[in-house]
């Protein structure tokens, strides 16, 4: 858990607290923390070295396909905005303040927002 916690957002912040609540000895925690930090650094260095070797090729592919990539990003943003709008509208229609409420006089046209 401690070794891989650095790679998972959220768990990275609380793995020390979890280790303490599970009564893991400080020696075992220290060893696992060093192993996790070493693995974390090795992965990032490996990614940066790979990216450094391939950045020109990646840039060429990007430049050749830039209109298509930008169109795809625009479509994804438009789709995400539409989904968020629909979710917001659905939540708004489900809110209890929009439900009609029957008054003692029997008038059911008023809502709780009118009261």
59, 51 Cβ separation under 8 angstroms: no
What does the pLDDT read at residue 113? 56
Stated pTM of the model: 0.49
- Which of the 8 DSSP states describes residue 8? S
14, 1 Cβ separation under 8 angstroms: no
Q: CB-side exposure of 45: number of CA atoms within 13 Å?
A: 6
**Residue range 54-66: mean pLDDT, rounded:** 94
**Residue range 30-41: mean pLDDT, rounded:** 90
Domain boundaries, the chain: 2-93
DSSP SS3 for 111? strand
Largest CA distance in the chain: 78
Residue 23 scores a pLDDT above 90: no
Q: What percent of the chain has pLDDT over 90?
A: 49
Residue 99 scores a pLDDT above 80: no
């Amino acid at each position: 858990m401690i070794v891989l916690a650095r790679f998972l957002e959220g768990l990275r912040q609380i793995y020390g607290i979890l280790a303490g609540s599970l009564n893991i000895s400080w020696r075992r925690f220290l060893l696992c923390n060093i192993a996790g930090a070493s693995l974390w650094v090795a992965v990032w260095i490996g990614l940066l070295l790979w990216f450094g070797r391939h950045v020109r090729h990646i840039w060429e592919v990007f430049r050749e396909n830039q209109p298509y990539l930008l169109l795809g990003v625009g479509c994804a943003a438009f789709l995400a905005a539409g989904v968020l709008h629909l979710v917001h509208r659905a939540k708004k229609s489900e809110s209890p303040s929009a439900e009609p409420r029957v008054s003692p006089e029997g008038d059911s046209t008023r809502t709780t927002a009118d009261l």
